[in-house]
Amino acid sequence: MTTPIDLSFAETDLDALAATEGRLAVIVPAEGKLDPAARRLNRLTKGAVERAAAGDGFARAAEGDVIELAFPAGLAATALLVVKLDRRPQPAAARKAGAEIAKRMEGQDLTLCAGSTTRLPELALGILLRAYAYEEMKSAEPKPRGAARILCTKPDEVEAAMAPVRARAEGVFFTRDLVSAPSNVLTTETFAKKLEGLQEIGVEVEILEEKELEKLGMRTLLAVGMGSESPSKVVVMRWRGGKDEKPLAIVGKGVVFDTGGISIKPAAGMEDMTMDMGGAGVVAGVMKTLALRKAHANVVGLVGLVENMPDGRAQRPGDVVKSMKGDTVEVINTDAEGRLVLCDVLWYAQERFEPVGVVDLATLTGAIIIGLGHENAGVFSNDDPFCNAFLEAAAEEGEGAWRMPLGAAYDKQLKSDIADMKNVGGRPAGSITAAQFLQRFIKDGMPWIHLDIAGVAQVKSATDMAPKGATGWGVLALDRLVRDGYEH
C-alpha cells in the first residue's frame, strides 16, 4: 500500500541554507515582511525574495499560493518556493499552502523555512495528501517522491501534534489505494483480506460469507452477485475505543466492479466502474484512521462486497427479491444494484448493533453528478442535528457536501404493481428516489445520513489535495464527525 512521504521537523539553521539541496521553500506573509530565514535567503539570492514579494504576481496570488524561482543564484537548491501565507493562517489556507508546495516537489527533497508560522500540522497534512501517487500496477521502479523537512521554532511541539495527522493521511491513502486498484486485483476476496489486515492495528474484523448471508436473509445483496464468480461478502469492522456506549455505524457500498448486470452499461467509460466500491473504501479508510490515532469512541464499519456481472445465473429485470427486513423489491434495472446491497447491510447494522446513528456512503447515482458535479457529495438525512454536524465537519475539512431533499412525495415513483417497491423510480430526481429507497430500511427514530459520493470519489483532474484519480473524499470529514461528536 502507498505510504505517506517521510516528513520531519527541525530547528532552523540559517548557515546551512545556502548548501541545502533539492527544493527550498520559505513563507512570506501578504505584507511582505521577511523573517530571519527569509532575510538570509534574500541576502543569498541578492534580493530575489524581496523582489518576488513586491511583484505583481505575489500581490495577485491568493493565500497559500506559491511563486517558484528556478535555479536561484547563491543557493544549491534547484528552486526557491516563495509561499504566500499569514503567520497565523486559517487551517484551510495552511493545508492549501502545503499542497501547493507538494505539487512542486518533483520527486526531490523539500526543505521549508516556516519559522514561527502556526498551523504547521495542517500545512504538513496538505503536503502529505498532495504528495500521493498510485504506482502499484506499474512495472517500472517507483518514481522518487522525496522527503519533506520543515524548519521551525518549536519542532518538538509540532512533532508531538503530528500523530493524528499522520493517521489521517494513512487513512486517506488506504481509501485512495483501494479505489484506484483494478477489479482483477481488488476482488471481493482480496478486498476482504485487506480489511482483515486492519486487525494488526486493533480493529476487530469479521467476514460474513455467502452461507451466513443466506441464513441472515440478505437476499437483495446476494442477488446482485449471483452472476459473478467472486463470492459476495459482508465485512464487519469494530473499533472499540470508547466505554460502554453504543457505536456509530458507517456502512459502505463495495461493488468491486459494476457492469450493470443484465441491464448492461455502455462500453464507453465502463472501465471507471472499478471505483464503484468507493463507499466501502471510505469506510475502510475511516476505520484505519480511528485505529491509528486510537480514537476514544466506538465505531462499527460494515461493507457489502459484491461484483455485478451478466451471466446465466444473474438476476434479471422483473425479478422480485425479498430483503432481510422482509420487504419485497421488484428489480426494474439491475444497474441500480448499490441500493440492493446497502439495504440489507443497513438493516443488519441496526438489528445487530443498535447504533446511535448510521451513515452510509455509496457511489450510487449518476444523477448526483448531474446535480452537483464533482465539487460536492449529495447529503440526505432524516435528522437535522446529525446532518448539520456532518456538514460542519465536512466544511471544516474542505470536503464539499450539499444537503439534498427527501420527501414522501418521491415514494410514488418507487411504487410497484407486484411488490412492495421498485428499485428505481425513473430519471426524474434519480438521486433522491435512491435515497428514499434506502430510507425505507432505516428504523423509526434512527438518525441516518446517506452520502452519494459518485461525483467525488474519483475525479478526472487534480483537486487541491489530490492528484487526478481517487480522492479519499469523506475520510477526513467522518473522522472529524467522530472526533467532535462521539469521543469522550
Looking at the fold, whether 182 and 131 belong to one and the same domain comes out as: no
Residue 153 CB burial class (10 angstroms; 0-12, 13-18, ≥19): middle
pLDDT tens figures, 63-103: 999 999 999 999 999 999 999 999 999 999 999 999 999 99
Looking at the fold, whether 126 and 181 belong to one and the same domain comes out as: no
Looking at the fold, whether 98 and 232 belong to one and the same domain comes out as: no
Looking at the fold, whether 80 and 37 belong to one and the same domain comes out as: yes
Looking at the fold, whether 190 and 144 belong to one and the same domain comes out as: no
| Strand stretches in 204-269, DSSP E | 204-208, 233-240, 248-258
Does residue 229 carry a pLDDT above 90?
Answer: yes
Looking at the fold, whether 145 and 228 belong to one and the same domain comes out as: no
Q: How many CB atoms lie within 10 A of CB 196?
A: 15
Q: What is the DSSP string of 101-157?
A: HHHT-TTS-EEEEEET-S-HHHHHHHHHHHT----TT-SSPPPP---EEEEES-HHH
Residue 427 CB burial class (10 angstroms; 0-12, 13-18, ≥19): exposed
Average pLDDT over residues 422-432: 97
Looking at the fold, whether 381 and 473 belong to one and the same domain comes out as: yes
Distances (CA, A) of 26 to 94, 135, 303: 13, 30, 44
159 found inside a domain: no
Query: What whole-number distance in Å separates Cα of residue 221 and Cα of residue 226?
Result: 9
Does residue 488 carry a pLDDT above 90?
Answer: no
Last residue of a domain, one of 97, 129, 154: 154
161 found inside a domain: no
Domain with residue 474: its CATH number is 3.40.630.10
Last residue of a domain, one of 154, 179, 205: 154
> Could you list the residue range(s) of the whole structural domain that residue 64 is in?
7-154
Looking at the fold, whether 149 and 170 belong to one and the same domain comes out as: no
The gap between the terminal CA atoms of the chain, to the nearest Å, is 32
362 found inside a domain: yes
314 found inside a domain: yes
Ramachandran region of residue 176, left (φ > 0), alpha (ψ -120 to 50) or beta? alpha
2 found inside a domain: no
Is residue 104 among the annotated active site residues? no
pLDDT tens figures, 383-420: 999 999 999 999 999 999 999 999 999 999 999 999 99
pLDDT tens figures, 311-339: 999 999 999 999 999 999 999 999 999 99
Spell out the long-range contacts of 436-440 with Cβ–Cβ below 8 A and sequence spacing 24 or more.
Answer: 436/406, 436/407, 436/410, 436/411, 437/339, 437/343, 438/339, 438/342, 438/343, 438/346, 438/360, 439/380, 439/382, 439/406, 440/327, 440/343
**Which is the catalytic residue, given 43, 194, 240, 265?**
265
pLDDT of 141 reads 85
Do the beta carbons of residue 69 and residue 45 sit within 8 Å? yes
- Whose CA is closest to 69, among 45, 93, 37, 33? 45
Does residue 437 carry a pLDDT above 90?
Answer: yes
Reported as a pLDDT band with limits 50, 70 and 90, residue 143 is: confident
Looking at the fold, whether 320 and 434 belong to one and the same domain comes out as: yes
Is residue 233 among the annotated active site residues? no
- Whose CA is closest to 428, among 370, 343, 376? 370
The mean predicted confidence, pLDDT, of the chain is 97
Looking at the fold, whether 146 and 176 belong to one and the same domain comes out as: no
Query: What whole-number distance in Å separates Cα of residue 208 and Cα of residue 231?
Result: 11
Beta pairing, strands 66-70 & 79-84 = antiparallel
DSSP bridge pairs for 381: 449
Q: Determine what percent of the chain is predicted with pLDDT higher than 70.
A: 100
**DSSP run (H or E) holding 196:** helix 188-196
Reported as a pLDDT band with limits 50, 70 and 90, residue 275 is: very high
pLDDT tens figures, 161-188: 999 999 999 999 999 999 999 999 999 9
pLDDT tens figures, 181-200: 999 999 999 999 999 999 99
Grid coordinates standing for 382?
432524516
Do the beta carbons of residue 396 and residue 463 sit within 8 Å? no
**Which is the catalytic residue, given 84, 166, 339, 480?**
339
Domain with residue 87: its CATH number is 3.40.220.10
pLDDT of 144 reads 86
Last residue of a domain, one of 154, 186, 201: 154
| Number of alpha carbons in the 13 Å side-chain half-sphere of residue 140 | 5
pLDDT of 208 reads 98
33 found inside a domain: yes
Does residue 1 carry a pLDDT above 90?
Answer: no
331 found inside a domain: yes
91 found inside a domain: yes
Query: What whole-number distance in Å separates Cα of residue 230 and Cα of residue 308?
Result: 10
Looking at the fold, whether 120 and 223 belong to one and the same domain comes out as: no
pLDDT tens figures, 37-57: 999 999 999 999 999 999 999
Do the beta carbons of residue 324 and residue 330 sit within 8 Å? no
| The total number of structural domains that make up the chain | 2
pLDDT of 287 reads 99
CA 23 to chain centre: 29
pLDDT tens figures, 332-371: 999 999 999 999 999 999 999 999 999 999 999 999 999 9
Looking at the fold, whether 428 and 381 belong to one and the same domain comes out as: yes
pLDDT of 142 reads 83
Query: What whole-number distance in Å separates Cα of residue 69 and Cα of residue 22?
Result: 13
